[in-house]
Amino acid sequence: MSIEDITVVITSFRSEKKIINCLNSINKVCKVINIENSNNFNFKKKIEAEYNNVKCILAGENFGYGTANNLGLKETKTKYALILNPDAELYKNTLDNFLSAAKALPDFAIIGPNIIEDKSNIDLEVQKQKKFSYLEVQSVKGYAMFLNLSEFKDIGFFDEKIFIYLEEIDLCKRLLKNNKKIYQCENILIHHQGGQSHDNSIDYEMELSRNWHWMWSTFYYNKKYKGFFLSLLSILPKLFTSIIKTLIYTLLNNKEKKEIYYQRLSGLFNAIIGRSSWYRPKVKLNIDL
């Protein structure tokens, strides 16, 4: 096995600045497929000109996390794929350590790394260890997932009804139901900022989108596995809280807070009545770099 057996799949949306550190951290021998959730041709042109190992595919619209990653995974021809967020960075030995883990655990479906949020706290010696510490787990976080693609032939990838949130939990649950193995390896290190995949200029619109989709996905996921009525009972406190806080912040004339809780209410209501995850952040899909 070699690094050439890995394709890194990165889904981005308005990540023109954030993605550079991510791409710079990836060994240039490794293939990279970047699914950009827009029609920003200038972004594609710039990325492919600067990085010979990167193929940038413009989705043409904002498909979200799961659907865009599925597009990248369908384009992948290698044995393994590493799903990576644009605000994540690899360390020098990260890919080699994933391969070492794959050799030690040939039956794996997903291997998750150890997240490092503060670069200054990292002990680089951990990456040099020859012995790895593995733990079989129920799920891993979606910012970095190392996939053994042969294990997904009868499972499929992400549920495309979910725009964002809980799609990796859903995928892991389906894998476990089919007796697939998921591991966490503490010795494989990746730096992840968290919640910083997009540029700062669209923070508020993305905050509205996060609130809408978190509530929608929460109800959808629970309904998928517990049924409608149990999910409705479990979500009622969040429903009442969203209604009350929307009214309170309306009376206080706090527009930002009102809008946030209104989006939470709207996402939850749309999920309850069976509507799709239709909400999209109100930002341009094509900008000049």
User: What is the per-residue pLDDT across 120-156, written as a single tens digit (0 to 9) for each?
Assistant: 555 554 555 556 788 999 999 999 999 999 999 999 9
Tell me the fold of 3-192. Answer: Spore Coat Polysaccharide Biosynthesis Protein SpsA; Chain A (3.90.550)
Beta strand ranges found along 44-169 (DSSP E) = 54-58, 80-84, 88-90, 108-116, 134-136, 144-148
CA distance 50 to 34: 13
pLDDT at 122: 54
DSSP reduced 3-state for 287: coil
Please tell me the pTM assigned to this model. 0.90
Which parts of the chain register pLDDT below 70? 117-131, 194-201, 284-289
- Find, among 41, 31, 38, 37, the residue nearest to 9 by Cα: 31
